[in-house]
Each structure stands twice: as structure tokens, then as C-alpha cells.
Amino acid sequence: MSRTTRDLLILAGIFALLAALPFLGLPGWVLTYTARIMAFAICAVALDLVLGYGGLVSLGHAAFLGIGSYAAGILLAENVDDFFVGLGAGMAAAGLYALVTGAVAVRTKGVAFIMITLAFGQMAYFVANALSEYGGSDGLTLWSRASIGGRAALKDRTLYFVILAGLLLSVAIVRLVTASPFGAALRAARNNPERVTALGYDVDRVRLAAYVLSAVLCGGAGVLIANLTSFVSPALMAWQRSGEFIVMVILGGAGTPWGALAGAFAVLALEEGLSLATQHWKIVFGALLVLAVLFTRGGIAGLLDRSAK
């Protein structure tokens, strides 16, 4: 079996399992938490586009998640409850912020890129804290969810499948992009930007396009999170959240078709399980991450590759 076929089968198995969960009679909180994981998995998949394929370590991607959430939350607070209007606004706002800030960030590299994305992320975080009309540092409670076509607000099961569809679409978009000539240019810019420039490509433009697309997907995830939790908060934009996305990508396997997806489920499921077992779960979680980095080179996807040989 070829690696491509195996990867497609793994993705098909993951999505088939997620689609079947609501029909297995599981407690409601399990489905809600799974929906939350799927929404954050969209961000991990989006980040993998710039980190795993583009080699750009961003510590500001949580800002795009938060911008999308606030765009949807503010519209709902102002009685604009159409889901697609909120989705479009959230994705557009995140994409615009990425376009403006990314035009500066992609001109840097290495530690400088990490620091400048962190700075731009913190700027968005402090702006959200200053929005006193929409809750400020306390966050904004949403008293209803968005609706589709003017009908009743999205119910739990419907929203679950909407988030699942968003995750499936995000994975498909990233796979199509990375398999295209643009994806080849992005990977080449990661490995040898000077040669790519000599071939006539504008490395900064290639990286900026990937950065903006990644931000748009994160903005969409923010809209989904806002509707799922009925609450938006500056905490969504904290740099720690961006760090968590990086952990998801690296643990799952950066630059692989399903690694970021697996990493998101592994990290968030592990967090929930450990937090139920002990109040000192972060210590155990940190130790497990260290062991994972030391003994699972290439993440979960890399581990499977080696076991398949």
C-alpha cells in the first residue's frame, strides 16, 4: 500500500468515526467536547500550512481565532444572527489582519518572525481587552446562537455536523493547496529560498498567501467556537493558545496530511483526561510532551511511518 493511499484511508477513518459519534448514544458533554476539539483542530491544520509546509513558526495564530470569534460575537450582540454572515465576517476580518501584519512579518525569518507574530498577536489580545462595550477582559456572553436561513438557532447536533464539515473542508483545502504547484513553491521556499527566488518566484508573496489562507481558516474556526460556547473572550487570543497550536502540529507530525489533526485530538483529549485525574495535570502533561519529543521523532505520523516499514 502506498503512503498516499494509507494517508487517505486514515483520514477517511477519522472522519467516519467523527460522523458516527452522535449516533452512539454518548453523553452530551462528550459530543460538545469533541466539537470543541474539531474547531481547534481546524486551527492546527491551518497552522501546519505555514509551519509544517512553509517552515514559519507563528506565535500569533490565536489572534486569528479570536478575531473570528469576536466578529461573530459582535454581530450576534447586534442582532445579526445569520450564520453565513458571521462566518464571512470572521474569515474576512482574520484574513485582513493577516494580510496587513503578514506583509511585515514574512520579510523576517527565524526568531525575528516568531517574535513579530507574537507581538501582533498580543496587539489583538490587548485590543480585545479594551472593548469594554463588548465585555472587555471579562468576555462577551452570547445569549443565542446564529441561525441558517433565518430559521431557529443552531442546535447542538446540527452545530456538531457544521463544525465537522468545516474541519473536513479545511483539511481538503490544505491538501489541495500543498499538492499544487503553489504548495511545491512553498516547500521549496522553506528549504532553499535563494534558489526559489532565482527561479523567478517571489518568496515573500508565496509565504504571505499561505499565511493569509491559514488565518482565514482560523477565523472560521473562531466563528464556530463562538457559536459552540456562546461566549467570546480575549483569552482565545493569548499567546499560550498559539503555543498550544504549535504543540499540536509538532506532536501530530508537521507537514503531514493528517498529523495536525491527530495532534489536536491527542493534546486536547490528554488535557481533559489528566485534568479529571489530578489537579496537577499540567506537570504530568509537560513531562509527557518532553517524552513525546524525545522518542517520537516526526510526531504521531512519523511513528506510524517507522512502524509500517
CA distance 228 to 42: 14
Q: Is the pLDDT of residue 308 over 70?
A: no
Cα 47 from Cα 72, distance rounded (Å): 21
Residue 80 pLDDT greater than 80, yes or no: yes
Q: Cell digits for 135? A: 465585555
Residue 75 has pLDDT above 80, yes or no: yes
Residue 296 binned pLDDT confidence (cut-offs 50, 70, 90): confident
At 152 the pLDDT is 67
Residue 255: which region, alpha, beta or left (left: phi > 0; alpha: psi -120 to 50)? left
What does the pLDDT read at residue 184? Answer: 93
Q: What is the mean pLDDT of residues 124-149?
A: 92
Residue-wise pLDDT tens digits, 257-273: 899 999 999 999 998 88
- In single-letter form, the type of residue at position 201 comes to Y
Q: Tell me, what's the pLDDT at 276?
A: 85
Fold held by 3-308: ABC transporter involved in vitamin B12 uptake, BtuC (1.10.3470)
Better-predicted residue by pLDDT, 139 or 302: 139
